[in-house]
Amino acid sequence: MSIFKHHRGFSTMYQEGNLTLGLYFPIEAYTGAVPVMDVAQQIRTARLAESQGFAALYFRDVLLNVPSFGDVGHIYDAWTFMGYMAAHTSRIALATGSIITTLRHPLHVAKSAASIDRLSNQRLVLGLATGDRPEEFPAFNQDMTNREGLFQEALAVMRQTWRSDFPAISTLRVHMSGADLLPKPLLGTIPVMVTGNSRQSVKWIAEHGDGWLFYPQNLIQQAATIQKWRSMTEKFKPFSQSLYVDLSENPDESPSPIHLGFRAGRNFLTRYLTDLKDIGVNHVGLNLKYSRRPAHEVVQELGEYVVPNFPAHDTAE
């Protein structure tokens, strides 16, 4: 039995053979790089999502405004905003998509993650990534060419500090002895989802990750990716993906492409999500940035008509 069957966030999101849905912050439709981020409205929509059976809320780690990327995420620091939202929700998983391991010190990430997991009643599912915005690396005095090694170092350091008391650690960024990191996660670990390839091989991700957070592809490509992933491990390690959706008011509207997703009515969306479930996707994080309708209205419709087909898994209090 996986230890994460006893972890509330992981077990809310993931179950072998099933699919659940999440929402990326900002839960808002907007143009350009910078959202309005009315926090009171974000709370209302997040609570609506929780009440209607969404499994997760996603927090992104966009450290600097890089105009060439055209996206600043939810503006607020990921850990600060997550703590605020944790206090305004009670059951829904808190997922990161994703924390940038190369630009944050491993001990800071380990302490922040353990703190959120303890304070939220074990609701954190920790997505990690290497970062891909070249302008950010010199700003933090880091070498972008060493992302592979920094990612591996960060994951190893975090897990060692979570499970061990007063560990002796000597790595590129950490020289630790005679000190300990608190708090410890209740399970001695936290579920870690590797994002994209993070400059690692699929074999390495399957061996060291607790799951894989990938990008949308057409069904044939995604099925091949999942098949390769499953062949690398005998354990159930979930496969998640993101998806941008512009939900039409016409429930029968056929799909038309948008960036990393599509515009369509709820009937096609439901069929498409069923297809993803059938090829082995365990969770889909929806992003409503390109919606033509208010996000709260879209979440209400999704909760009424789509989410009942893919509800969050019931977990013990």
Each residue's pLDDT tens digit, 27-41: 999 999 999 999 999
pLDDT number for residue 2: 83
Per the structure, the count of domains in the chain is 1
Q: pTM of the prediction?
A: 0.96
Determine the Cα angle at 294 with ends 290 and 299, to 5°.
90
Element (H, E) at 75: none
Is residue 154 domain-resident? no
pLDDT number for residue 284: 98
Is residue 304 domain-resident? yes
pLDDT for 317 beyond 70 = no
Provide the pLDDT confidence category of residue 158 given band limits of 50, 70 and 90: very high
Is residue 244 domain-resident? yes
pLDDT for 314 beyond 90 = no
Mean pLDDT value across residues 78-82: 98
pLDDT number for residue 238: 98
The residue among 197 and 317 whose pLDDT is bigger is 197
Rounded distance between C-alpha atoms, residue 311 and residue 19, angstroms: 8
pLDDT for 237 beyond 70 = yes
Is residue 148 domain-resident? no
Mean pLDDT value across residues 231-240: 95
Element (H, E) at 64: none
Is residue 118 domain-resident? no
Is residue 229 domain-resident? yes
pLDDT number for residue 243: 98
pLDDT number for residue 108: 98
Which CATH number is 60's domain given? 3.20.20.30
Amino acid, res. 82: M
The residue segments making up the domain with residue 53 are: 3-103+191-309
Provide the pLDDT confidence category of residue 316 given band limits of 50, 70 and 90: low
Closest-CA residue to 198 (of 308, 97, 62): 97
For the record, the structure tokens of 30 come out as 């907007």
Closest-CA residue to 110 (of 13, 176, 25): 176
Mean pLDDT, rounded, of the chain = 96
Is residue 43 domain-resident? yes
Rounded distance between C-alpha atoms, residue 100 and residue 109, angstroms: 9
Is residue 51 domain-resident? yes
